[in-house]
Structure 1
Amino acid sequence: MSTPEPVLPKSRQPVRVQETAQEESDRRPKRSVDEIEQAMAERSERLSRNVDDLVNRMKPGRLARDGVQRVGSAMTTEQGGPRLEVIGAVAGAAVVAAFVIWRARRRR
């Protein structure tokens, strides 16, 4: 009595072996040395631009300026006036601070 071949789940099925590097290079079109050098120079230029962009984005002055703009836009309306909820929060904080100071002085 022979045992039947076990049925494996899909995650355990054998996978196809990838083609070798030689087979892959045989399928690619042949390029001249000048084409390869030009491609390398283009990649180097793109990489240089990307690094410059990242450096400019991470400058402390720019980060601070962007943060101030975000806070300013969150606190003002499109017309430039202060938002009502901001006025309410500031007024509430002032009332709480005044109450805390009043209580602290009264207990002395």
Structure 2
Amino acid sequence: MTITITPSARERMHHFLAHTPNAAGVRFGVKRTGCSGFAYVVDLASDLAEGDQSLDVDGVRLIVDAKSLPLVDGTVIDFQRQGLNAAFVFHNPNATGECGCGESFTVG
């Protein structure tokens, strides 16, 4: 299992974790939604659930649920600012397509 976090994404995650010291880590995964099938989920995790995988990625504890593991393996998580917008951006080698708005993706 490999997930990479860019320095800007790591800084943003550390910012959120510093303001929520009781968080178990950052939950990263996918949920079924959107016009292409899956959307990414990045949120603070309050605890570990059964089947969760905990990964230390450059000093950030990432928590990934078992169903998301094969869909996010190899993903690079970035954080980008463009004008007034700021968001996490995902480069996922498992994605075979994305919807036009970039909010959801498909896998082969």
Query: TM-score, normalised to structure 2's length?
Result: 0.18
**By percentage of residues, which structure has more strand?**
2
Query: TM-score, normalised to structure 1's length?
Result: 0.18
